[in-house]
Amino acid sequence: MPTSEPITAFDEFLENLDFARGLVKAGRALAAMRAGVVDVEDMYRAAWSQSVAGLDHWITREITERAVVLALNPDLPRPPRFSKLEIPVDAFERVYQGNGELGEVLRRCWGERFARSTHQRPAQIKEGLSHVVEGDLWRKVAEVMSATGPQVKPDQIRERLDEIIDRRNRIAHTADRNPAPPPARAELNDGDVVEVIDWLEKVAQAILTVLGDSVNPDDLIKAATNGGGPALVSSGGQWDERSLLQGLENSAGPAYNTLLAVYRHAESHLAFRGYSFGTGAFPSVTASFRVGAAEASVWSIYADVDKPVLSINFEWMRGRGVATERLERLLRHLRRLPGAERVLSPVIGADYAKRPSLTPEMLADGQDVVIDALNDLLAVDMEHEPAPADIDVPPAATSVVEENLARARRPLVVLYDRLERQIQALGDDVVKKTRKLYIAFQRTQNFACIEVHPQANELLIFVKVDPDSVQLEEGFSRDMRNIGHFGTGDLELRVRSQTDLEKAFPLIRQSYEVS
């Protein structure tokens, strides 16, 4: 069992590998029992994925914790890329105003930043660790491994690691089907998985030798407390997602399911712009959305231990220019909640300058009502509402695709803008390249190529998803393996509306994850 005491990043990685080995043992036990109900190889696939996930998490912790130590100890040598690390203004203000320790603020800020990136492939690991260590990482790792075992070259390590990640991606995204016909699942035995786990441990041990011992969490906490600037004000710290969810679980009672559904609904909606966690006596969060042509804070959840509530921020939406018609529709929906009329009736009389709070009694069985209300509020009306002022339309076209975008009607421009924002939000490693006939979004390689067709009023998106792995839909998705086209990707997605975009985006994300 994992210990409850703070452990180093590498010790946690070893625990994750032990868990993966436990999955292999469970698979062997099932095989011996000949339990035909379970595909034993799925236990081995889970172990393979677990070991890769453990590597990813370990590298992320190493980067974050070593970066904090460098920040708190200016006398230590720093790689050039360390100086490129940034902190948000609100993080700086928390430290400056005495509302947070420098070390803890940096740990949270950089932890979130590096957790948004993947650290599995050789290039990703090298790029991430370059913030805290100088030199040719894989050459040094090869030297360490060669000193304690058979001679190995840097390219051999990178090639083997890439093969392991490729297999993990097939397991995670295509049920481990063979990339070539016939479409059967690839075989996997316990010996193969054990060999991978052991090899990853050797590589990680060599990386640790290059880096030096993992940071001791106790030392990091002391450094953050003693050398990290002003003392923490007991009531002034900022809440986070974990504290909010724990607060809801402890206090929400009959309203728990509704409040949790509202919180999760936000991130799943294409109009979502972000969460802002509060600093008051109880955990709280406010969610911002694109509402028509405006951007506004729509709701706030307060996990008060005595009376958790959902506040509907009519006043803030009105102040940000949200159309009155939308606010009226939202109000009509919410009036269906039992007992809500009492708090909602004053809203119209105050010209929507109110932020009524819906209590647990009103929300107890109101999950569907509230979600329907939010969906109606956030519904896209591209024909009748002005486009957001920050949509990026090229002032002068330099390619066919830019010319097509400049000639497109406003609804198509709005649709493209939303698509690009969603793609850019997939990760810091997304790169946009404008070609003559299409716009490509790359990671290590193209994962989405977009053509703009103003006359047909549609976007064509080509993604790297196996057409055999999806249910093709006439007029929306098409197998392009034997059809010539610009860009890269075997699956074509035809997007003409917000509904099409919502169907297309999970496939774009899948293409991003395997690229």
C-alpha span between 428 and 139 (Å, rounded): 26
- Asked if residue 389 has pLDDT above 70, the reply is no
146-204 confidence digits (pLDDT tens): 887 889 999 999 999 999 999 999 998 888 887 776 678 888 999 999 999 999 999 99
What was the pLDDT predicted at 240?
A: 82
Q: In this structure, are residues 356 and 314 in contact, taking their beta carbons and an 8 Å threshold? A: yes
What was the pLDDT predicted at 454?
A: 83
What was the pLDDT predicted at 193?
A: 94
What was the pLDDT predicted at 2?
A: 40
What was the pLDDT predicted at 156?
A: 93
Instruction: For residue 280, name the pLDDT band (cuts at 50, 70, 90).
Output: low
Closest alpha carbon to 388 in 498, 462, 275, 291: 291
Residue 378: phi, psi to the nearest 5? -90, 5
Residue 275: phi, psi to the nearest 5? -100, 150
More reliable by pLDDT, 460 or 104: 460
Instruction: For residue 92, name the pLDDT band (cuts at 50, 70, 90).
Output: confident
What was the pLDDT predicted at 38?
A: 67
What was the pLDDT predicted at 390?
A: 43
- Asked if residue 257 has pLDDT above 80, the reply is yes
C-alpha span between 312 and 94 (Å, rounded): 27
Q: In this structure, are residues 230 and 80 in contact, taking their beta carbons and an 8 Å threshold? A: no
More reliable by pLDDT, 183 or 397: 183
Task: Out of 96-105, 111-120, 226-235, pick the least confident.
Answer: 226-235
Q: What is the percent of the chain where pLDDT is above 70?
A: 86
What was the pLDDT predicted at 235?
A: 32
287-307 confidence digits (pLDDT tens): 999 888 888 899 999 887 677
Check whether the bond before 308 is cis (ω within 30° of 0).
no
Closest alpha carbon to 362 in 308, 281, 442: 308
**Assigned token pair, 432:** 């946009």
Task: Out of 151-165, 197-211, 227-241, 266-280, pick the least confident.
Answer: 227-241
55-87 confidence digits (pLDDT tens): 999 999 999 989 988 888 877 788 888 888 988
Instruction: For residue 398, name the pLDDT band (cuts at 50, 70, 90).
Output: low
Instruction: For residue 386, name the pLDDT band (cuts at 50, 70, 90).
Output: very low
What was the pLDDT predicted at 232?
A: 24
Q: Are strands 309-312 and 431-434 parallel, antiparallel or unpaired?
A: unpaired
329-350 confidence digits (pLDDT tens): 999 999 999 999 988 988 988 8
401-456 confidence digits (pLDDT tens): 888 888 888 888 888 988 998 998 888 889 999 888 889 999 888 999 999 988 78
- Asked if residue 23 has pLDDT above 90, the reply is yes
Average pLDDT over all residues of the chain: 83
- Asked if residue 384 has pLDDT above 50, the reply is no
Mean of the pLDDT values across residues 115-143?
91
Mean of the pLDDT values across residues 127-150?
89
| Strands, sheet with 294-302, edge to edge from the N-terminal-most edge strand | 272-277, 284-291, 294-302, 309-312, 357-358
| DSSP of 319-344 | HTT--HHHHHHHHHHHTTSTTTHHHH
Mean of the pLDDT values across residues 16-26?
93
Tokens 């819906």, residue located: 358
